[in-house]
Amino acid sequence: MTNTAPPQRYLIQPVPFEGKYQTDARDTLDLPSLTQAKVWNGANDPALPGNLITYTIAVNNIGKEVASDVVITDTPDSLGEFVVGSVVASADGTVVLGNNPGDTSIEVEFQSLAVSAR
């Protein structure tokens, strides 16, 4: 049997869009937020030549999420003499620079700082 039907052409017309939609999407991004404070302590205020001065750098996570791979760096003032080997970190920190001969700056790394961690 031979197909003898002529080809038909169909044109599909778009249907006008009559519906109205309103969308409202919101998202909250919880991020870490770090603060840093550097304070000094010494025998005299102001410090006198020859005085030993101890610096403390405090880092706090006041954000809403854990901070990862935190690196704290500091370069002591050139007017003083940096005491190599005097850098101490909290239990969660690792001293990378500051305790080896020839170090002239400080670097302490933290794998993470929890929310409200100091």
**Is the residue at 118 inside a domain?**
no
Residue range(s) defining the domain that contains residue 47: 34-113
Any domain includes 19: no
Residue 59 maps to a domain: yes
The CB density around residue 87, as the number of other CB atoms within 10 Å, is 22
45 within a domain of the structure (yes/no): yes
Query: Cα 74–80–84 angle (5° rounding)?
Result: 60
* Measured CA angle at 60 (ends 59, 64), to 5 deg: 145
Residue from 61, 113, 57, 53 nearest 83 by CA? 53
Asked if 105 and 73 touch (Cβ cutoff 8 Å), the reply is yes
pLDDT per residue rounded down to tens, the chain (118 residues): 555 556 666 666 666 666 666 677 788 888 999 999 999 898 888 888 889 989 999 999 999 999 999 999 999 888 888 899 999 998 889 999 999 999 999 999 999 999 986 6
Give the whole-angstrom CA distance, residue 21 versus residue 80: 67
Count of structural domains within the chain: 1
Residue 20 lies in a domain: no
Inside any domain, residue 12: no
DSSP 85: T
**Is the residue at 46 inside a domain?**
yes
